Structure 1
C-alpha cells in the first residue's frame, strides 16, 4: 500500500444554494463484458457488485450526507460498438434505492457483448452519460476490467479529451491468472495494474483497486466504493468519515 490516503474536501456544500447542494458526486460504474469474461466470471462480477452495494459500510457511505446525495449510473461495455446502460442515473437517497439496484443486478442475464476490449470507447460512452446527468460537485468514472485495450481509441488518449475534463477516472483491475514471475516482479498486481495506472486512471486522487480474481470482486468493489464515497465536510458541518485503507496502487 502506497502513500497517505487522499481526502475529498466538499467545502461549503451545506451552505451552498439548494441547486448546488443537490448532488455531491456523480458516480458511474462501468463493467467489462468482453469475451475474456466467461459466464461464471460474469455472475461473480455482477452479483459481487449487487452485494457490495448493500454492504453496511457502503450503505452508510452512500447515505452519510442526506442533504447532498450521490447520483449513480451503471453500464456494461466490451468492444468499441457495444455499451449498454444497466441503470440510468438515479439519486441514492435511501437503503431502498440500493436494495432495488442490488435486486436488478442479481441474476441479470449477461449482455451479448463482443470479443474485444475497448476501454477508450467505454470512456466515450461515460462522457455522454455525464453530459446527460445531474450537476454534481464531483464526477467519478470507475472502470472494471480484466484486460488491456485492444479495440478503438486508446484510453490514454481518450481520457484527456475535453468531454471528460474534471472527471476522475478510477480502475478496478481483475488480475486473474497472474503468473508467479509477474507476482515476483510486481507484487502490486502485475502488468494489468501497471497498464491501468499508466493508461486508464486520471485525476489527483485517482487509484487502481485490485481484485485478485473474479471471486474477489465483491470485496474489492467494497474497498473501492468506500474510498470513492469518502467525504469530509469542512466548516460547521465537519463530519470525519470512517477510516478506509488506502488502495494498493495509485497514481
Structure 2
C-alpha cells in the first residue's frame, strides 16, 4: 500500500533569511543579530516547529545584505531533518566574522537576491523570504516595485532603536518603520511584520517570527496527488492530513 509519506515526499517550506548589515549596524549589533538568529534556531519551540514533520523537511538559507551589490551567503540551502543540523547551522552563524560592505541600505536588491535563492527551490510547497532591517531603503531598486513570484511570501523583522532612554520616541520610530515595511517590503496574503525593540530584543522577536512562519501548511498549500484510484477511494490529501494528526 502506498503511504501518504511516499505520495508527498519532499520539502514543505523553503525559508531564506536576509540580515541587514548596512552602515547603521555597528559591530555589537552585528554580533547580536547573528548570535540572536543562532540562538533562535536552538530555541525548543522553534526546533519543534522545524522538526514536527520530518518526512517533509524545511530547507533554510541565510544571507546578509547592505548596498545594491553587497550580499553574502552565510548558510547555503540546508535541509533541516534532525536537531544536529540546527546545531551545525547555529554554530556556523556564531563563527561568522564581519567583512567590509557598503554602508547604504538596498532593500530592493536584498529582495532580488533572496528571490534568486528561492527560485532554486521550486519543489517546495511554500517559499518564504524573511528580511530583517533597521532602516528604510536609500539606494538601489525601490522595494515596493521589486515583486517576486506569486508563490513567494515576504515577511519582515523590523529592528528599532536600542536606546531605551528615548522612551516613547523609540516606539514611534519603530511604528513608522513597521508601516514602511508593511507598505513597501512584505508580499503575499499571509505576509506580516514582526518587531524588535532594538538589537537586544532581536532574538526574542526572531523566535516569535519563526514560530509563526513555520506553522504547518494548510490544505490549500498541499501538492496535488495523482489520480490513481477511483470509486470510494479516500483522496490522497485526506490520507496525508490524517497521517499528520496521528
Which TM-score band applies after superposition, normalised by the shorter structure?
0.7 to 0.9
- Match for residue 98 of structure 2? 110
- Match for residue 4 of structure 2? 15
Distance change in 2, residues 1:119/1:147 (3 Å): same
TM-score by length of 2: 0.83
- Match for residue 237 of structure 1? 243
CA contact (8 A) 1:71 1:134 kept: no
What is the number of equivalent residue pairs in this alignment? 221
Distance 1:134 1:60 in 2: 25
Where is the helix percentage greater, Structure 1 or Structure 2?
2
Distance change in 2, residues 1:129/1:232 (3 Å): closer
1:111 Cα deviation from its structure 2 partner: 2.8
Q: Does 1:168 align with 2:153?
A: yes
Query: Which of the residues 56, 61, 68 maps onto 1:73?
Result: 61
Q: Give the match's secondary structure for 2:4.
A: coil
Query: Which of the residues 20, 43, 57 maps onto 1:32?
Result: 20
**Structure 1 vs Structure 2 CA RMSD:** 2.1
TM-score by length of 1: 0.82
After superposing the two structures, state which structure 1 stretch, 212-221 or 130-139, moved more.
130-139
Q: Give the match's secondary structure for 1:190.
A: helix
Distance 1:87 1:38 in 2: 22
Distance change in 2, residues 1:120/1:17 (3 Å): farther
Distance 1:228 1:153 in 2: 26
- Match for residue 11 of structure 1? none
1:233 Cα deviation from its structure 2 partner: 6.3
- Match for residue 216 of structure 1? 201
1:94 Cα deviation from its structure 2 partner: 0.5
Where does structure 2 lack aligned partners over 5 or more consecutive residues?
A: 220-240
Distance 2:60 2:79 in 1: 6
* Residues 44-193 of structure 1 aligned to structure 2 (within 5 Å): 44-133=32-121, 135-158=123-146, 160=147, 163-176=148-161, 180=167, 182=169, 189-193=174-178
Q: Give the match's secondary structure for 1:21.
A: coil
What per-residue deviation string (whole Å, max 9, x for no partner) do you get for residues 141-188 of structure 1? 000010001110011100x2xx5321000000001158556567x59x
CA contact (8 A) 1:62 1:229 kept: yes
Name which one, 1 or 2, has greater alpha-carbon Rg. Answer: 2
CA contact (8 A) 1:144 1:173 kept: yes
